[in-house]
Structure 1
């Protein structure tokens, strides 16, 4: 397994060129690029430029509309439902979060459900938009059905990530960004590229037996909810995933459960959909709607310091604040560059040849 390091600027130019070839406007191409590159900068390599080929394949299947008419279809002063017109989730979700932020600026909080969208990248990107306005940001999305509920041997839920982001004072924001499955599908893809097994408790085979084979999903297996099994709290992960599915899709009019359209282009969407596209749910809450923003940030700093000073079992380890590793990755990679595994580089260069753009 070898890595090739690229500057942020080079990856941005390449990614922007791909989205332009798909027919996106300059503004949409720039925004979609920013979401993917922010993922790579933050060390979430599974959701960065490695996803480009997947978006292109969906576009080729006419499942992604590069020029969507993103619009509000239902609204109250503090809530809205948005139709993404089958656009890139990388563009639709930021539009929705901006609506939530504008409502929060006027009324204290804003809540937006989205239907008819696609994969929206890392949830943290959208929540951080609210943090920049001294707001608490919430973002979640349902996803391709790859996860079996507790006790089930059938894929009914996605990895369904959720993210909560809180503005701090002298420290980086606290960002809880996680899949509600035992592992995100992207981590299986990383293991596949590296030809490595995955930890026990991530997946089960088609018969419901535990497996460490990262290719198990291709053989009819399924991911497990956060907690892995009932004895280790999988019902909690299942409950969180169900919450994301209901808020993102049952509330918005998107597809939910097993009807969510798959991200992989070789699998066709359900012939009998129950909604439109996949769904997101985004929210923004003004901190000063509860107490002065600076007071909150000062106390969150205090919270961070107390947790970082916690006694640890191993003196060589420390308590990690949610979002801290990603912040450290971002600071480092902005200077030293972004490492991309050679398998992904080859995939991207094949994509460049197909689209007629300059290779990496």
Structure 2
């Protein structure tokens, strides 16, 4: 495992985006969103996807380097935004900015987005609300990968949901979860490391459980959160459909079965002081999180964690010690650097 600094990776990725025609300011935003995944320990959605999910799609015309992001319809606290086929990393950022602006003026802001592309980690955008003493909400749909309960054909995307809430002390609350058992990126990570996946993540082409991440990716039969009907996977299936409603039906781009390389998103911001005093909210959040962390634990674990604890701890460590890169990822970056004539100074 090789490690390099966040600053070195940032410089490389920004230049790669610029080489593809993305303006500097937008390239910096897209890079920050992408690499925040690596900082938080979510390698499945970070630098490992630079080539296949972003650069290659800029190359083949699927994604526009310069897009005309615009509002199609707007009310006091809501908006429908058109991403114009641009980088989802940038479209998501602009849409969450708009949701926050609306919350500043009206107490709450909600933005649905059509015609976007893959936007990275949902938790980046929900966390944007924290600095404004707001609760942030972010989600996206994607092409069909997940089987509905009792179904044999994938009809729902992995459709992640993220919610962030500020605290007075310690790390904020930050939930970022797929509505399938795991995100699609976890299969990529397992394949990259040559590791088997647990039973209950996905089925093979014959509808049987598989522990091979390559087979699972090819079969495209992921299981909804809960894995099996006996363990309530209808809940994960239902949550995935909720995401499709807010991101796909509300935006007009369509639910997961209607998608290929385009995505719909949904963002929300709730201004806490439009409900109650911020300090009172944060004091109660602190007490709740403290109680969760002090819950008695099983003998084989050290502590109950609050959503976001692991990610913020990883962020602190990786800013200090560097971002780890698997050798396969490092080699791919070297190839990309040569192709784009961007020095890879790690």
TM-score interval, normalised by the smaller of the two chains: over 0.9
CA distance in 2, matches of 1:15, 1:57: 14
Where does residue 139 of structure 2 map in the other structure? 140
2:90 maps to 1:91? yes
Contact 2:146 2:158 (C-alpha < 8 Å) held by counterparts: yes
Q: Secondary structure at the residue paired with 1:193?
A: helix
2:144 maps to 1:159? no
2:336 maps to 1:356? no
2:294 maps to 1:309? yes
CA distance in 1, matches of 2:228, 2:56: 34
Q: Secondary structure at the residue paired with 2:191?
A: helix
CA distance in 1, matches of 2:171, 2:219: 41
2:27 maps to 1:7? no
2:21 maps to 1:23? yes
Q: Secondary structure at the residue paired with 1:165?
A: strand
2:291 maps to 1:292? no
Contact 1:208 1:221 (C-alpha < 8 Å) held by counterparts: no
CA distance in 2, matches of 1:217, 1:59: 27
2:308 maps to 1:323? yes
1:219 is displaced (CA, Å) by 3.8
Contact 1:207 1:221 (C-alpha < 8 Å) held by counterparts: no
CA distance in 1, matches of 2:92, 2:336: 25
Where does residue 206 of structure 2 map in the other structure? 207
2:108 maps to 1:123? no
Where does residue 223 of structure 2 map in the other structure? 224
2:44 corresponds to which of 43, 46, 53: 46
Contact 2:187 2:216 (C-alpha < 8 Å) held by counterparts: no
CA distance in 1, matches of 2:220, 2:115: 28
1:315 is displaced (CA, Å) by 6.6
Q: Which moved more, 1:142-151 or 1:312-321?
A: 312-321
Q: Provide closer, same or farther for how the CA distance between residues 253 and 6 of structure 1 changes in structure 2, counting only shifts above 3 A.
A: same
Q: Secondary structure at the residue paired with 2:234?
A: helix
Q: Secondary structure at the residue paired with 1:211?
A: coil
CA distance in 1, matches of 2:300, 2:343: 49
Matches within 5 A, 1:168-187: 168-187=167-186
Spell out structure 1 runs of 4+ moving beyond 4 A: none
Matches within 5 A, 1:242-321: 242-262=241-261, 277-314=262-299, 316-321=301-306
Contact 1:134 1:167 (C-alpha < 8 Å) held by counterparts: yes
Where does residue 110 of structure 2 map in the other structure? 111
CA distance in 1, matches of 2:241, 2:107: 27
Report Cα offsets for 1:44-95 as digits up to 9, x if no partner. Answer: 1111111111211111221101100100000110100000000001000110
1:316 is displaced (CA, Å) by 4.2
Contact 1:73 1:83 (C-alpha < 8 Å) held by counterparts: yes
Where does residue 35 of structure 1 map in the other structure? 33
1:174 is displaced (CA, Å) by 0.3
Gapped regions of structure 2 (runs ≥ 5): none
Contact 2:210 2:216 (C-alpha < 8 Å) held by counterparts: no
1:313 is displaced (CA, Å) by 2.2
1:337 corresponds to which of 312, 316, 322: 322
CA distance in 1, matches of 2:155, 2:60: 24
Gapped regions of structure 1 (runs ≥ 5): 263-276
CA distance in 2, matches of 1:11, 1:115: 30
Report Cα offsets for 1:247-298 as digits up to 9, x if no partner. Answer: 0011001132222124xxxxxxxxxxxxxx3100000000111110011001
Where does residue 77 of structure 1 map in the other structure? 76
Where does residue 272 of structure 1 map in the other structure? none
Superposition TM-score, scaled by structure 2 size: 0.97
